[in-house]
């Protein structure tokens, strides 16, 4: 093994999305999670890290997290990965029309649809898919101990909004309580936006997140 997983956090796009470049240091295989804009900068950081993009992974289907998918796919020919429920939901014409108001490009069709418990292998590294509906029907977190990429399910000191189509506050609270808070306390939380900070831990969120107390 070539040591711990490579993780690079970039804040991208007009909506300040936390995009992640992750990779296996031994094989040079990598993935980009939530390319929400600034695609050339993302590609340049991938190159600088010496990685090849094997997957483009969406934690959910909102346009601010997937608007860079087309450009990254063109550059890398890597498949776009999303949970089955969001792949279906965000392909519905009325949903496309609602989110087009953001003025951001929707994702091209999803190539790989994943479900809870699936594993995305990147070289020696394995990202486990944890389905955390609530912010969207097919929202996911990605876990490779100690790293947890939470998308818009959990922020530092906050959680995802549930007032968009497909959102459910009760589902989101259940997802966080039953899927994320059971992980080891030292688990590093890498959020989908840096609203309250760029990273945290499960222990810290249990102790200080006002929405979870």
Per-residue pLDDT tens over the stretch 85-126:
999 999 999 999 999 988 999 999 999 999 999 999 999 999
pLDDT of 2? 53
Domain contains 203 = yes
Domain contains 104 = yes
CATH number at residue 65: 3.60.15.10
Mean pLDDT of the chain: 96
CA pair distance 63, 2, nearest whole angstrom:
35
Question: Alpha helices of the chain — where are they, by DSSP H?
Answer: 39-48, 63-66, 69-76, 84-89, 93-99, 169-175, 202-208
pTM: predicted TM-score of the whole model, two decimal places: 0.97
Domain contains 76 = yes
Domain contains 1 = no
Q: What percent of the chain has pLDDT over 70?
A: 99
Per-residue pLDDT tens over the stretch 41-64:
999 999 999 999 999 999 999 999
String of DSSP letters for 97-132 = HHHGGG--PPPPPPSEEE-TT-EEEETTEEEEEEE-
Task: Name the domain count of the chain.
Answer: 1
Domain contains 95 = yes
What are the residues whose beta carbons fall under 8 Å from the beta carbon of 30, sequence distance 6 or more? 6, 21, 22, 23, 24, 46, 49, 51, 52, 53, 54, 122
CA pair distance 23, 73, nearest whole angstrom:
17
Domain contains 166 = yes
Q: Check residue 17 and report its DSSP letter.
A: E
> Which domain, by its residues, includes 143?
6-208
Which residue is associated with the tokens 């992980």? Answer: 183
Q: State in Å, rounded, how far the first CA of the chain is from the last one.
A: 39
pLDDT of 1? 38
Domain contains 46 = yes
């Amino acid at each position: 093994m070539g040591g711990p997983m490579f993780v690079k956090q970039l804040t991208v796009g007009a909506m300040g999305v936390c995009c992640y470049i992750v990779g296996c240091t031994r094989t040079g295989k990598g993935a980009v999670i939530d390319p929400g804009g600034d695609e050339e900068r993302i590609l340049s950081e991938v190159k600088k890290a010496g990685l090849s993009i094997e997957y483009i992974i969406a934690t959910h289907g909102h346009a601010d997290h997937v608007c860079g998918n087309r450009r990254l796919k063109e550059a890398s020919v890597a498949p776009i990965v999303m949970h089955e429920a969001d792949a279906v939901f965000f392909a519905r014409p009325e949903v496309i029309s609602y989110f087009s108001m953001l003025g951001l490009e929707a994702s091209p069709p999803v190539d790989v649809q994943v479900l809870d418990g699936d594993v995305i292998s990147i070289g020696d590294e394995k990202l486990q898919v944890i389905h955390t509906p609530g912010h969207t029907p097919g929202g996911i977190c990605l876990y490779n101990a100690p790293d947890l990429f939470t998308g818009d399910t959990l922020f530092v000191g906050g959680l995802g909004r549930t007032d968009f189509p497909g959102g459910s506050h009760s589902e989101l609270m259940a997802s966080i309580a039953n899927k994320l808070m059971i992980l080891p306390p030292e688990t590093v939380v890498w959020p989908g936006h840096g609203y309250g900070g760029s990273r945290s831990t499960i222990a810290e969120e249990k102790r200080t997140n006002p929405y979870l107390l």
